Copies of this chain bind each other. A is one copy, B any other.
């Protein structure tokens, strides 16, 4: 058994995007095993347990990831993750991966796959709500799939906006109001909000939205009225209903499960698509265990490793 650190170093973003596309393709074809993730509530946050088996890559394992919003005040990351990989022939644990940065990266790559297939425009104004790791990972990954003409960025902290703009100096970056940020071709929302912050009237026809922030029961970023105007694609229906952008509207009877337009996997295999260029499309991302396995498969070829005695 080996322990892998710094596995994100030297990963090729384009390769990660292709790996995600392939994992969603398997998901769309029903070729994976992946029960909905399990949530455990801790006093100041939660952790999620995400097992899966991806036969096409001959990889199986479990990601364990926490969300603790109070951690930065303690000098710790909000989200930290480990992935345990098992040998598919014997069940023996073969690798433990520090998967914290891989988690951001694979979520960014899923957003890039969604934008590639669902954005009506190929040269885009990219609206970004939030300035954290997830916002940055989305921009990095999407920039490999679509040509970004301009980034509009909104966040609460001017210092974070400045750092964000410094990181993406290759793109014209405009600090905007929330309403003006929504005037774009592709909008990415990455906040931990528990009430809608994006009003329906701010979103014009033809926009594609990656709704990334809502990943637990009670979280939502979008006006429920916007969901009713849009085609909503989810990564996994069971997870999205439990903890995705649609979880609160569904629990309040403001959105119905049978209104979901399809899964991203079904979009990637061509079974579902944007109905026309004027439609608003939404990708409701909760994060799939197969994404963690797909990026682990690449990451195991990178990074430092240590031998651990087992069994």
Contacts and interface: CB of A to CB of B under 8 A. Distances in A.
Interface of A: 3, 5, 33, 35, 38, 40-47, 49, 51-53, 60, 62, 64, 66-68, 71, 74, 76-77, 80, 82, 84, 86, 88-93, 96, 98, 100, 306, 308-311
Contacts of A46: 91
Contacts of A64: 51, 62, 84, 86, 93
Given A38-B35, A92-B76, A66 B51 contact: no
A92 to B, nearest CB: 5
Contacts of A35: 38, 40
A67 B80 contact: no
Chief secondary structure at chain A's binding surface: strand
Contacts of A308: 3, 5, 306
Candidate in A62, A91, A310 with the most chain B CB atoms within 10 angstroms: A91
Contact of A84 (B40, B71, B82): B82
B40 A51 contact: yes
Contacts of A38: 35, 38, 49, 51
A57 B212 CA distance: 35
B100 A311 contact: yes
A311 B104 CA distance: 14
Given A38-B38, A60-B47, A311 B33 contact: no
Given A3-B3, A77-B311, A88 B51 contact: no
